[in-house]
Structure 1
Amino acid sequence: MTNTHGPSIYIPNDKNIFDALQHKKVTHSTLLIFLRKRGVFVSSNIEKNELVSIISSLTLDYHDYLWLCKQLENPNRKEKT
């Protein structure tokens, strides 16, 4: 029997990234640190919504995607048995 299904490839678009960054787990200071590491310097007085717009307009790589997943994961998640 041959497997007709290959590995799942998920490429988030700017709308998916925008929605994920709007989550309450992603803090304002975390977004500022992310932008600083990317070489984008903004005022700390900018609202979170504007920071999210800036980040979602950038081209993100795999490591940025992993960073975003890490921000949204629940470390206290219990497995149901």
Structure 2
Amino acid sequence: MKPYTELINLDEPGMDLVRTWLAEGSLEYEVLPPCSERGSRLEEVQVTTRSPMGAIVYETGGILVELNAHNDLCREYG
């Protein structure tokens, strides 16, 4: 098992791609600040921060997305 320090990729950070996806999307979102245990969380998943999954695990405390489509469906099919 690799330590989290070996899973951090500073040359090609996956968070850049995640930020691009979020900015290009039409839904409202909030990126939560990273938690103090982010290193151990990255070790648990064993994915580098070059990947979007590893970047989200290490660089954020999660991403909240507003799913308005559900409200529209409730109104339509009520």
Whether TM-score is above 0.5 comes out as no
TM-score by length of 1: 0.26
Q: Higher helix share goes to which structure?
A: 2
Q: Higher strand share goes to which structure?
A: 2
